[in-house]
Amino acid sequence: MSESFLLGIDLGTTGVKVLLLPSDLGLERGESVEATVEYPLSFPHPGWSEQNPHDWWRGTIRAIRTVLDRAQVDGRRIVGLALSGQMHGATLLDGRGGVLRPCILWNDQRSARQCREIEDRVGLSQLLKWVGNRALAGFTAPKLLWVRANEPEVYERIATVLLPKDYINFRLTGELATEYSDASGTLLFDVANRRWSAEMLKALEISPRILPEALPSTSVMGRVSAEVASLTGLAAGTPVVAGGADNACAAVGTGILAPGDVLTSLGTSGTVVAPTAAPRVDPGARVHTFCHVVPDVWYLMGVVLSAGGSLRWFRDVLAAEVQARAEAEGYDAYDLLMVEAETVPPGSERLFFLPYLTGERTPHGDALARGVFFGLSPAHSRGHLFRSVVEGVTFALADSIAIMRELGIRTGVVSVTGGGARSLTWRQILADVFGVRVRLAHGSAGPALGAALLAAVGIGTFSGIPQAAQQLKSRDVGLEPRPEVARLYRSYHAQFDSLYPRLKDSFAQLATLES
């Protein structure tokens, strides 16, 4: 095996993945090894979503040790590491670096009222000018305002607010920092100029002192401490590179670097990412504008909050016996459910699913939206229901594709990554609904691979991200849309899009009912 190695770490919503690979990114030699450790997700109230940062840290330590043991690699041969992570989470620390409360996550919707207050106070046009995005409950700034309004004793003790991956970087190194791509999702960052927005901070009366320094993604932000070395098996002094937001790292790890590239990621959330050469902002604020980890590149992003999350809900709540059988027989429950879905014709025989289990970002920006099965009849089986969930998530992703086309983004070929990308059936549904060729992106490591690439650039193995990413382009020729199925899906997609406007007021009324 190679003499030296890198670690790419992806701090996800359901678990942390650690990827070990040669320091020259020699993936063709088949030397990559990975380990994943899951941790709990808490829903204290409807619409709330939290995690304990200490669970992230314990999971990261365990995953690092596991991957080193699995690869039989001495930790002293790790020459650098970087993290990718779930965006937007408000991780609040006191003056000694202690965690003040559970992290409020990206899919938490409690701050809807604060979003309205922000837009009333600042105005949408100023928001788009100052930070490139509208106020949404997933972002960090509304969470801070919620804590200020509802937990003032906690707010008064905040010395630093970090994003999830930056908390792990802090625990690794003792240094407080973030980087441009993750800072872009706080609603406090001037994405056009890559700096904290003094205007936004002043308007929201948030002290700049609680914000960490923002760095380029390939900066060495610190080094592994002696204490952490004893916990993980890494060498003290190992460089820790700043890293990036999960979607930006997934884009890098799949070679999505320049205008004309488009990536769909099928994780807990679903995203569509399209790089741009300038900070292009949607006048309707339906898609986000963020900094890429690549210098002088930005990207547009549409988000479906519950993509794989909808499939997971279905598995856990409506297919428990399938999950039990899969565990007993050594299968993946999703694979078994997809076999059932394959027996159902496209369109699930007029059954629709709105995947708004935790509200929705693109294109509705509605924290109060909820999941719906529409058209259910006694003729529908579990296979129909599961296929309709997959199709509903795909229709929701296609809404982002349509908006990007309106903004002049070319979408001739779409790469796909994430856990859902393993399914040939789902990739074909994507091709049919999007109406373009869909190819499987390089590997399945996604954000972890992108983080490792940033580490390679940060420690100087490569001169830049494009040079490092050259070997990561997919060789998959892709799946073409089937004309007759694509035509059918166009009519079904139109019906799907007609449902939310009819239900919007009902969702708002639902939120007022006593529970």
What are 300-336's pLDDT values in tens digits? 999 999 999 999 999 999 999 999 999 999 999 999 9
Distance of alpha carbon 352 from the chain centroid: 25
Instruction: Tell me what pLDDT residue 7 has.
Output: 97
Residues 2-6: contacts with CB under 8 Å, at least 24 apart: 2/26, 2/29, 2/31, 3/77, 4/77, 4/78, 4/79, 5/71, 5/73, 5/77, 5/78, 5/79, 6/78, 6/79, 6/80, 6/81, 6/452, 6/455, 6/456, 6/459
| Highest mean pLDDT out of 211-225, 242-256, 436-450 | 211-225
Cβ contact 269:306 at 8 Å: yes
Q: What is the pLDDT, as a whole number, of residue 110?
A: 93
- Note whether 155 and 233 are same-domain residues: yes
- Specify if 46 maps to a domain: yes
pLDDT at 255: 85
| Mean pLDDT for the stretch of residues 263-271 | 91
For position 41, what pLDDT does the model report? 92
Cα(427)–Cα(342) distance, integer angstroms: 13
Q: Is 501 exposed, middle or buried (0-12, 13-18, 19+ CB in 10 A)?
A: exposed
Comparing 141-150, 157-166, 378-387, 417-426, which segment has the lowest mean pLDDT? 417-426
Residue 31 above 80 pLDDT? no
Is residue 81 domain-shared with residue 211, that is, in the same domain?
A: yes
pLDDT at 77 over 90: yes
User: In the chain, how long is the greatest CA-to-CA distance?
Assistant: 63
Average pLDDT over residues 380-387: 98
Domain count, the chain: 2
> What is the model's pLDDT at position 474?
61
Question: In this predicted structure, what is the pLDDT of residue 302?
Answer: 95
pLDDT at 184: 97
Please check whether residues 22 and 130 belong to one and the same domain.
yes
Indicate the pTM of the whole model.
0.87
Higher local confidence (pLDDT), 367 or 145: 145
> How confident is the model at residue 367, as a pLDDT?
86
| 308, 267 Cβ separation under 8 angstroms | yes
- Domain-located, residue 363: yes
Q: Give the domain range for residue 247.
A: 5-255+443-472
Question: What mean pLDDT do residues 465-478 have?
Answer: 76
Q: What percent of the chain has pLDDT above 90?
A: 85
What are 49-66's pLDDT values in tens digits?
999 999 999 999 999 999
The phi and psi torsions of 10 (rounded to 5 degrees) equal -115, 110
Does 27 share its domain with 140? yes
Residue 153 has pLDDT above 90, yes or no: yes
In tens, the pLDDT along 109-142 reads 899 999 999 999 999 999 999 999 999 988 999 9
What's the pLDDT band for 44 if we cut at 50, 70, 90?
Answer: very high
The confidence score (pLDDT) of residue 473 equals 62
Mean pLDDT of the chain: 94
pLDDT tens digits, one per residue of 477-509: 799 999 999 999 999 999 999 999 999 999 999
Highest mean pLDDT among 260-274, 333-347, 443-457, 461-475: 333-347
Q: How far apart are CA 360 and CA 147, in angstroms?
A: 22
Residues 374 and 468 in one domain: no
My answer on whether 240 and 356 are in the same domain is no
Co-location of 94 and 135 in the same domain: yes
Q: Within 13 Å of residue 447, how many CA atoms lie on the same side as its CB?
A: 28
269, part of any domain? no
Q: Which of 108, 246, 366, 399 is catalytic?
A: 246
Domain for residue 394, yes or no? yes
- pLDDT exceeds 80 at position 27: no
| % of the chain beyond a pLDDT of 70 | 97
- Find tokens 């709330």 and name the residue: 48
> Is residue 228 located within the same domain as residue 343?
no
Domain-located, residue 76: yes
**3-state SS string for 99-160:** ECCCEECCCCCCCHHHHHHHHHHHCHHHHHHHCCCCCCCCCHHHHHHHHHHHCHHHHCCCCE
Q: What is the distance, to the nearest Å, from the Cα of residue 388 to the centroid of all Cα atoms in its chain? A: 23
112, 59: one domain: yes
The answer to the question of residue 368 being in a domain is yes
Provide the sign of the torsion angle of the four alpha carbons 259, 301, 211, 62, taken in this order. negative
Asked if the structure places residue 293 within a domain, the reply is no
Both 128 and 207 in one domain: the answer is yes
Q: How far apart are CA 466 and CA 445, in angstroms?
A: 18
Q: Using DSSP, how many helices (H) and how many strands (E) does the chain show?
A: 18, 22
pLDDT at 10 over 90: yes
Residues 452 and 504 in one domain: no
Residue 30 has pLDDT above 80, yes or no: no
DSSP letter at 212 equals P
**Can you give the pLDDT at residue 281?**
92
Distance, in Å, from the CA atom of 92 to the CA atom of 154, rounded to the nearest integer, reads 9
246 counts as catalytic = yes
Burial class (CB in 10 A: 0-12, 13-18, 19+), 125: exposed
Nearest to 455 by CA among 7, 4, 30: 7
424 found inside a domain: no
CATH number at residue 451: 3.30.420.40
Same domain membership, residue 244 and residue 377: no
Is 349 or 251 the better-scoring residue by pLDDT? 349
In this prediction, residue 443 carries a pLDDT of 57
Section 356-385 average pLDDT: 95
